[in-house]
Amino acid sequence: MQSQSTVSPQVISLWFDEAEEARHAGRLDTAQALLDRIIVHDSAHAAALYSRGLVALASRQLPLAQRWMERAIEVQPQPPFFDMLCLIQVKLRAFASLVQTARAGLAHEPDSVALHYFLGVALQLQGQADEAAVVYRKLIELKPDYAQAHANLGVVAKDLGSLGEAERHLRQAMALDSSNRGAHASLSQILLAAGRYEEAWPYFEDRWANFVNADGQPASQPPQLPLPHWKGESTDVAGGARLLVLPEQGHGDSLQFVRYLPMALERFAKVGYICPPSLRRLYEESLCSRWPRLVMLDDAMPDLKEWDWQCSLMSLPMAFGTRLDNIPAATYLHADPQRAAAWGARLGALPQQALARVGVVWAGGHSGMAEDRARSLTAAQLVPLFSSSPVRWVSLQKADDLSKRPSTATKPYLIDWMDEVADFADTAAIVENLDLVISVDTSVAHLAAAMGKPVWLLNRFAGCWRWLRDRDDSPWYPGVRLFTQSQRGNWAEVIERVAAELSQRYGPEKMYRSFMR
């Protein structure tokens, strides 16, 4: 409602000009004071409300900036106001609100390139790939040379299962903007999923372009160290050349690619890996005990004078010229025998010892990310599997939020000792006593598979590149069997297939554990 004011419009206009001059000069306190004065006298001054939101944004007061932009839109729904509110909601990661804002803005300006882009990003980050694809295609109609729209549509097409369309759009993005390293990184995943490893690995070196840090901000550069990057060159092993291997990404990535560390000892006199604490004991017992020239380092930057070369862990496949036909797929991790025996004794004290022991993981980490929502189930979704299969179910689930803990309905079926598990060495000791592990695409699947255990992977539709496409086995792990969604989001049919296979393998007439036969 218009405020009562004895101040003339000319004076208010003068104040506004002064406020804008102060804002552009970075004198935010002065700008804020002038704008607040205007709003007191004219609460419907849309430009002042908008500028007040810009001041709050420049001051990193994001919720306040959002409220000012919303007030400006209420007074006067101008397209730039919607654009800026969308930007603020991106920074707030308020993607549901962002969808509403972008759609409201498009009602006023149907051909807005910016609002189509914001809407596509919001839908994509919420896992609504079908709707995002429609928006990005419309955006490309409006602006055919929009490189980032092609790049984003490429990623969405991949999520919808179309590697061919994904590759076309990503290559178009690269043709339009050769500096778009994010498109390179996304293309690497398309090529890897297609098994085109030799072509993919060089693009994979740009993988950091699509990473975000703990604050949700882009982390587009690998660690910058004053050491030469090792890319597979010949080295002076006899002269004592030393390689520092840097960690990256998640625990599953580390568990999959540490297989290359012993191989690096063929090229270097010493190899050091900056090891995440939760993996260190497992790696020291599995790897360092066998290869003493391999050392695990604290999870901090070491003295670089002790090293001659560097290589990020996931760059090792390229350094070794990895193809589908030469992946080093032998078992390389194991549990400590005494620790495994202790957990085995606890399992052995349970009733019904004839039952097969099956470990289960139903959810990954990093809650809130679209990828995690796509790959994870709730414990309750597994009740049909638990109730129909005559096996001993052993939880291997670590939960990063309460929603991933066993539900009331699942607790009667599960042995759950995971609150006593300190690290992956403990998890490995439990896994050593199991006959089978059933897991979504998360770190425990890699752990069990690297130990040589049979693993049935519950794989989302158009899943991670490392599991390739259109196959139910893995060249990375001989013991892995893939159960992939035939439709996006449909876990029920996956669980039905797994239940049928379990019944075939451990039905009433076959319920005795394999080692007891």
- 364 within 8 A of 442, measured Cβ to Cβ: yes
Do 341 and 490 belong to one domain? yes
Domain boundary among 163, 191, 210: 210
Residue 236: inside a domain, yes or no? no
Residue 203: inside a domain, yes or no? yes
Do 143 and 196 belong to one domain? yes
pTM for the predicted model, two decimal places: 0.90
Number of domains in the chain: 3
Q: In what order do the strands lie in the sheet with 436-440?
A: 414-415, 392-395, 357-361, 436-440, 455-459, 480-484
230-254 pLDDT, tens per residue?
Answer: 999 998 888 899 999 999 889 999 9
Do 307 and 343 belong to one domain? no
512 DSSP β-pair partners: 355
274 DSSP β-pair partners: 297
Do 119 and 174 belong to one domain? yes
Domain boundary among 271, 303, 326: 326
CB neighbour list of residue 188: distance below 8 Å, 6 or more residues apart: 200, 201, 203, 204, 206, 207
Do 14 and 90 belong to one domain? yes
Which domain CATH number covers 297? 3.40.50
Q: In what order do the strands lie in the sheet with 270-274?
A: 294-297, 270-274, 242-246, 309-312
Take residue 87 and report the two structure tokens written for it.
Answer: 């930007």
The rounded distance, in Å, linking the Cα atoms of 266 and 250 is: 26
CA distances from 89 to 62, 83, 100, 111, 187 (A): 8, 10, 11, 21, 28
Do 351 and 320 belong to one domain? no
At residue 244, what are phi and psi to the nearest 5 degrees?
-100, 120
On the CB side of 437, how many CA atoms lie within 13 Å of its CA?
Answer: 32
Three-class secondary structure of residue 312 per DSSP? strand
Which domain CATH number covers 108? 1.25.40.10
418-464 pLDDT, tens per residue?
Answer: 999 999 999 999 999 999 999 999 999 999 999 999 999 999 999 99
Residue 101: inside a domain, yes or no? yes
- In this prediction, what percent of the chain has a pLDDT beyond 70? 95
- 436 within 8 A of 453, measured Cβ to Cβ: yes
114-162 pLDDT, tens per residue?
Answer: 999 999 999 999 999 999 999 999 999 999 999 999 999 999 999 999 9
* Segments of 39-160 assigned E as strands: none
Structural domain including 478 reads 337-516
Do 181 and 204 belong to one domain? yes
**Which letter does DSSP use for residue 304 in this model?**
G
Take residue 131 and report the two structure tokens written for it.
Answer: 């709707």
Residue 102: inside a domain, yes or no? yes
For the chain, the maximum distance between any two Cα atoms, rounded to a whole number of angstroms, is 95
Over range 39-46, report the average pLDDT.
95
Task: Find how far residue 404's CA is from the centre of its chain.
Answer: 17
Any idea how long the chain is?
A: 517
Which domain CATH number covers 349? 3.40.50.2000
392-426 pLDDT, tens per residue?
Answer: 999 999 987 778 888 888 889 999 999 999 999 99
Residue-wise over 433-460: b if at least 16 C-beta within 10 A, else e?
A: bbbbbbbbbbbbbbbbbbbebbbbbbbb
Do 261 and 354 belong to one domain? no
Do 378 and 434 belong to one domain? yes
Among residues 484, 415, 474, the alpha carbon closest in space to that of 446 is found at 474
Domain boundary among 188, 210, 232: 210
**Contacts within 8 Å (CB) and 24+ apart, 276-280:** 276/247, 276/251, 277/423, 278/251, 278/423, 278/424, 279/251, 279/254, 279/255, 279/423, 279/424, 280/423
